[in-house]
Chains A and B, each alone.
Chain A
Amino acid sequence: MKKKTLITIVALSLLAAVAGFANCGAGAGGGKSIAERAFVPPGQYDEFYGMISGGFSGQLSIIGLPSGRTLKVIPVFTQDGEKAYGYNEETKPMLMTSHGFIPWGDSHHPDISQTNGELDGRWVFINENNTPRIARIDLSIFETVEIIEIPHAAGNHASPYLTENTEYVVASTRFGIPTPQRDMPVNQYKGNFKGMTSFVKVGKDGRMDLEKEGFQILMPGFDYDKAHPGRGKSHGWFFFTTYNVDEGHTLLEVNASQKEKDYIAAINWKKAEEYLKAGKFETWNTNFAHNVYDEHTHMATTSWGKKVRVLDPSKLPGLVYFLPIKKSPHGCDVDPTGEYIVGSGKLEAQATAHSFTKMLKAIEEKKFDGEAYGIPVLNYEAVLAGEVKTGLGPLHTEFDGEGHAYTSFFISSEIVKWKLGTWEVVDRKPTFYSVGHLMIPGGNSRKPFGKYLLAMNKITKDRYLPTGPEVNHSAQLFDISGEKMVMINDFPTHGEPHYAAGIPASKIKDRSVKIFKLEDNKHPYAVKTPEKTRVVRKGKEVHVYMGMIRSHFVPDVIEGIKVGDTVYFHLTNFEQDYDVPHGFAMMGQQSSELLVMPGQTETSVWYPKKPGVWPFYCTDFCSALHQEMQGYVRVSAAGSNVPIKYTLDDDPVDVE
Chain B
Amino acid sequence: MRKNKMIKKSIMAFFSILLTSMIACGGGGGAPEQPAPKGQSAVKDDVSAANALQVAKSIPDFSTLVAAIEAAGVQDAVVNVGPLTIFAPLNSAFDKLPAGTVETLVKPENKGKLAYILTHHVAPANFPVETLEKNIRKQRRLGMASGKTLEVTKKGNDLMVGGTKILKSVKVSNGWIHVIGDVLVPSDK
Contacts and interface: CB of A to CB of B under 8 A. Distances in A.
B80 A36 contact: no
A16 B21 contact: yes
Nearest to B7: A5
Interface in A93-110: none
A553 to B, nearest CB: 13
B26 A36 contact: yes
Given A31-B27, A36-B27, A577-B51, A623 B81 contact: yes
B21 A17 contact: yes
B126 interface: yes
Nearest to A3: B6
Nearest to B51: A577
A622 B27 CA distance: 42
B42 to A, nearest CB: 10
Interface stretch (A20-28, A374-382, A496-504): A20-28
Given A16-B18, A20-B22, A578-B45, A551 B125 contact: yes
A9 B13 contact: yes
B188 interface: no
Contacts of B3: 2
Interface string B10-43: 1101100110111011110000111101100001
B41 to A, nearest CB: 13
Contacts of A188: none
Nearest to B80: A624
Nearest to A36: B32
Given A13-B14, A41-B35, A575 B131 contact: no
A13 B83 contact: no
A290 B43 CA distance: 39
A20 B126 CA distance: 60
Given A16-B17, A31-B24, A550 B175 contact: yes
Interface in A530-567: 549-552
B170 to A, nearest CB: 14
B21 A41 contact: no
A31 B14 CA distance: 21
B126 A549 contact: yes
Interface string B125-152: 1101011001000000000000000000
A39 B27 CA distance: 13
B14 to A, nearest CB: 4
Given A20-B18, A624-B124, A577 B49 contact: yes
Contact of A623 (B24, B43, B82): B82
What is the interface of chain A mostly: helix, strand, loop, or mixed? Answer: loop
B43 to A, nearest CB: 7
Contact of A43 (B35, B45, B134): B35
Contacts of A33: 25-27
A274 interface: no
A32 interface: yes
Interface residues of B, number: 43
Interface string B168-185: 000001110000000000
Contacts of A514: 45, 47-48
- Residue picked from B10, B32, B43, B81, most chain A C-beta under 10 Å: B81
A9 B10 contact: yes
Contacts of A254: none
Nearest to A552: B126
B13 to A, nearest CB: 6
B26 A577 contact: no
Nearest to B133: A655
Interface string B96-109: 00000000000000
A515 interface: yes
A515 B51 CA distance: 14
A141 B87 CA distance: 36
Interface in A5-47: 5-6, 9-10, 12-14, 16-21, 23-24, 30-33, 36, 39, 41-44
Given A6-B10, A551-B126, A576 B49 contact: yes
Max chain A C-beta neighbours (<10 A), residue from B6, B38, B82: B82
Interface in B40-81: 43, 45, 47-49, 51, 80-81
Nearest to A32: B27
B70 to A, nearest CB: 21
B84 to A, nearest CB: 8
Nearest to A625: B125
Nearest to B47: A514
A21 to B, nearest CB: 6
Contact of B82 (A19, A44, A515, A624): A624
Contacts of A39: 32
Nearest to B27: A32
A515 B48 contact: yes
Nearest to B140: A649
A580 interface: yes
A230 to B, nearest CB: 40
A10 B48 contact: no
Interface string A320-357: 00000000000000000000000000000000000000
Contacts of A649: 131, 134
A470 interface: no
Contacts of B11: 9
27 contacts: A2-B6, A5-B6, A9-B11, A9-B14, A13-B14, A18-B21, A19-B21, A20-B18, A20-B21, A30-B27, A32-B26, A33-B26, A36-B32, A42-B34, A42-B35, A43-B38, A513-B47, A515-B47, A550-B174, A550-B175, A577-B48, A577-B51, A577-B81, A580-B81, A598-B48, A624-B83, A656-B131
Given A31-B27, A550-B174, 4 more contacts: A10-B10, A39-B32, A576-B48, A623-B82
Interface of A: 2, 5-6, 9-10, 12-14, 16-21, 23-24, 30-33, 36, 39, 41-44, 513-515, 549-552, 575-578, 580, 598, 622-625, 649, 651, 655-656
